[in-house]
Chains A and B, each alone.
Chain A
Amino acid sequence: MAEFECRLKKYRQMKELTQEQLAEKVGVRRETIMRLEKAQYNPSLKLAIDISRAVEAPIEEIFVFK
C-alpha cells in the first residue's frame, strides 16, 4: 500500500492560517485538520480540493502518495 504523506501544515502556515480558520474555511472540524496534518486521515476528493483551494497549492503537493 502506498505511503501517505501530508504537507498541509507547511502550506497552511505559509498562508498564515490557524487550524481553526482553515477548518472553518473548508467546512470541517479542527480535529479533522489535525488528523490530516498527522497523515492519519485520508480526505475525500471534495475535501482535498477545498483544502487545495484554501491554501492555494496543488493537491498533489499537499497530499503525497509515495
Chain B
Amino acid sequence: MKTNKKKIWIGCGILCVLSVLLSSWYAVAYNDSRLVVPMDFKDYVFDIKDLPMIVSLSLVCVYLVALFVMLFIHAGKKQRQAVETGVTRKINPKLGCLGVLGFLGFAGFWTYPVDGTVFPFAFFLFFGFFGFYYEGKMSGTFMDERFRENIAHAKLKAYRITFGVMIAALIILCQGKLFGNLEYTLIAAIIILSLALGLGIFLSEYLLFRYDHDDQAEEGGE
C-alpha cells in the first residue's frame, strides 16, 4: 500500500478514536453517561443529546468495516500478484506474533460462566496466525515447479492431519453428553474445531518451510 494511503487510513482511525473520546466526555459531562455505561435498550428513548455518541460509534463501525474490506481486497491483490510474478507474497515474519491472539480463546472460560457466551472459544483459531512467521521467512521466494509441488505436499499433509483430528473429535463427542451436560459438548466441539482449523492454517506454512529448509540444509553449493 502507498504511504499516502496508509497515512489517510491511520488519520481516519485517529479521528474515529478522538470522536469517541470526545462524545464519551460529552455524554459523561452533560448526558448522565447515557450510552457510556451499560443500559437497558428495551426502554430506550432517543434524546438529541445522544446524537454525538451515536454518530461517533457509527463512524467507528463504518471505519472498521471499510478497513476490513480494504485489507481483504489488498490481500487478494497481493495473491494475484504472487501468481503473476511467480514469487511468494511479501509478509513481515513479525506478523506471526498475531498468533498470540489465540490466547483470547481462554476468554471463553470467563464469559461462559458469567453470561453463557461461548463464541470467544472460537478465538483459539487465531493460533494459526503463528504460521505467518514461516510465510514471512519465505517471502519473495521464486516459485518454481518443485516449490509448487512442496506447497501442494505441505497443504495435503496439513489438511489430512486437520481432517483426522476433526473426525477423531467428532467420534468422541458423538458418544454423548460430556460430563452429563450437552453445553459442555458444544464448548468442547467449538474448542476442538477452532484448534484443528488453527493447526491446519499453521501446519501448511510450517511444513512448507520445513520441506524447503530441509532441502537447502541437505544441499551443498557450487
Contact = CB atoms under 8 A, between A and B. Distances in A.
Given A31-B216, A35-B215, A18 B146 contact: no
Interface residues of A, number: 15
A29 B142 contact: yes
B111 to A, nearest CB: 48
Given A18-B222, A19-B222, A32 B216 contact: no
A43 B145 CA distance: 8
B147 interface: yes
A35 B146 contact: yes
Nearest to A9: B222
Interface residues of B, number: 13
B219 interface: yes
B144 interface: yes
Interface of A: 18-19, 27-32, 34-35, 38, 41, 43-44, 47
20 contacts: A18-B222, A19-B221, A19-B222, A27-B144, A28-B144, A28-B145, A28-B146, A29-B144, A29-B147, A30-B221, A31-B146, A31-B212, A31-B215, A31-B216, A31-B219, A32-B145, A34-B220, A35-B215, A41-B146, A47-B145
